[in-house]
Chains A and B, each alone.
Chain A
Amino acid sequence: MKDKIRIGCGAGFSGDRIEPALILTEKGNLDYLVLECLAERTIALAQKRKLQNPESGYDVLLEKRLKDLLPLLLHHKTRLVTNMGAANPVAGAKRIIELGKSQNLSIKVAAVIGDDVLEFISGEEHSLENNQPLQSEGKLVSANAYLGVEAILSALATDADIIITGRVADPSLFLAPMIYEFGWELDQFDLLGKGTVLGHLLECAGQLTGGYFADPISKPVPDLDRLGHPFVDVFPDGRGIISKVEGTGGIISERIAKEQLLYEVLDPYQYITPDVIADFSSVQFEKIASNQLQVTGGGGMEKPEKYKVSVGYEAGFKGEGEISYAGSHAVERARLAGEIIEKRIKSLVPNLRVDFIGLNSLHPAELSKNSSPYEVRLRVAGICETMELAQLIGEEVEALYTNGPAGGGGARKMVTQVVGVVSTLLNRDQVKPDVNLLST
Chain B
Amino acid sequence: MKKLADIAHSRAGDKGNILVLSLIPFDSKDFDWLVENITADRVKSHLKGQIKGNVTRYVLPSIHALQFTCEDALAGGVTTSLALDAHGKSLSYALLEMEI
Interface residues, chain A, with chain B CB atoms under 8 Å away: 40-41, 129, 212-213, 215, 218-219, 255, 258-269, 280-285, 297, 315, 318, 351, 353, 355, 357, 361-367, 379, 381-383, 418-421, 423
The residue that B13 contacts in the complex, of A215, A264, A353, with Cβ under 8 A, is A264
- Asked whether B60 lies within 8 Å of A259 as measured between CB atoms, the reply is no
- Asked whether B13 lies within 8 Å of A263 as measured between CB atoms, the reply is yes
- Asked whether B97 lies within 8 Å of A261 as measured between CB atoms, the reply is no
What residues of B have a CB within 8 angstroms of the CB of A260 in the complex?
Answer: 11
Q: Judge if B47 is at the interface, Cβ distance under 8 Å.
A: yes
The residue that B94 contacts in the complex, of A261, A266, A285, A367, with Cβ under 8 A, is A367
- 8 A-B Cβ contacts within 8 A? A255-B9, A261-B63, A263-B13, A266-B18, A281-B62, A366-B49, A381-B84, A382-B82
- A264-B20, A367-B97 given; A259·B11 CB < 8 A: yes
Closest Cβ of chain B to A340, distance in Å, is: 19
What residues of B have a CB within 8 angstroms of the CB of A283 in the complex?
Answer: 62-63
- A259-B11, A259-B24 given; A266·B79 CB < 8 A: no
What residues of B have a CB within 8 angstroms of the CB of A264 in the complex?
Answer: 13-15, 20
Q: Judge if B55 is at the interface, Cβ distance under 8 Å.
A: no
The residue that B9 contacts in the complex, of A219, A379, A383, with Cβ under 8 A, is A219
The residue that A420 contacts in the complex, of B47, B62, B79, with Cβ under 8 A, is B79
Q: Judge if B34 is at the interface, Cβ distance under 8 Å.
A: no
Interface residues, chain B, with chain A CB atoms under 8 Å away: 5, 9-11, 13-18, 20, 22, 24, 26, 47-50, 56, 58, 60, 62-65, 67, 69, 77-80, 82-85, 89-91, 93-94, 97
- A283-B62, A362-B84 given; A265·B67 CB < 8 A: yes
- Asked whether A218 lies within 8 Å of B11 as measured between CB atoms, the reply is no
- Asked whether B11 lies within 8 Å of A266 as measured between CB atoms, the reply is no
- Asked whether A262 lies within 8 Å of B22 as measured between CB atoms, the reply is yes
- Asked whether B83 lies within 8 Å of A353 as measured between CB atoms, the reply is yes
- Asked whether A129 lies within 8 Å of B11 as measured between CB atoms, the reply is no
What residues of B have a CB within 8 angstroms of the CB of A297 in the complex?
Answer: 62
Closest Cβ of chain B to A292, distance in Å, is: 18
- Asked whether B50 lies within 8 Å of A129 as measured between CB atoms, the reply is no
The residue that B63 contacts in the complex, of A41, A258, A363, A366, with Cβ under 8 A, is A258
- Asked whether B9 lies within 8 Å of A218 as measured between CB atoms, the reply is yes
Closest Cβ of chain B to A23, distance in Å, is: 25
Closest Cβ of chain A to B30, distance in Å, is: 14
- Asked whether A381 lies within 8 Å of B11 as measured between CB atoms, the reply is no
What residues of A have a CB within 8 angstroms of the CB of B11 in the complex?
Answer: 212-213, 259-260, 262-263
